[in-house]
């Protein structure tokens, strides 16, 4: 599956991830003051993002779950439930 920077930003917004810019765009899920998952992307625009498999793995999502996130069908609550099932939370 390939994603663009705009798809990545939709995931950030939909899952309620916190973000900051530096050399790359860093994002993370924070619950009760703890960083649970984190990933980053380059500031590349237009073309497909590099290391998409790493983004998916760092967010602790399977390919199917990642597709749901990209298509905006995965909510923050759904993401938290996935992490609970995987015993990350």
* pLDDT tens digits along 20-29: 998 899 999 9
For residue 62, name the pLDDT band (cuts at 50, 70, 90): very high
Parent domain of 64: 5-85
The number of beta carbons lying within 10 Å of the beta carbon of residue 51 is: 13
Q: Please give the Cα distance from 60 to 46 (Å, whole number).
A: 25
DSSP lists the bridge partners of residue 69 as none
Q: Domain tally for the chain? A: 1
* pLDDT tens digits along 6-45: 889 999 999 999 999 988 999 999 999 999 999 998 887 6
């Amino acid at each position: 599956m390939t994603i663009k920077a705009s798809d990545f930003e939709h995931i950030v917004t939909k899952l309620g991830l916190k973000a900051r810019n530096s050399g790359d765009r860093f994002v993370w899920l924070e619950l009760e003051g703890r960083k649970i998952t984190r990933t980053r992307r380059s500031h590349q625009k237009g073309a497909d993002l590099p290391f998409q498999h790493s983004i998916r793995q760092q967010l602790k999502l399977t390919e199917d779950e990642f597709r749901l996130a990209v298509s905006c069908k995965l909510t923050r609550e759904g993401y938290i439930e996935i992490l609970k099932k995987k015993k990350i939370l």
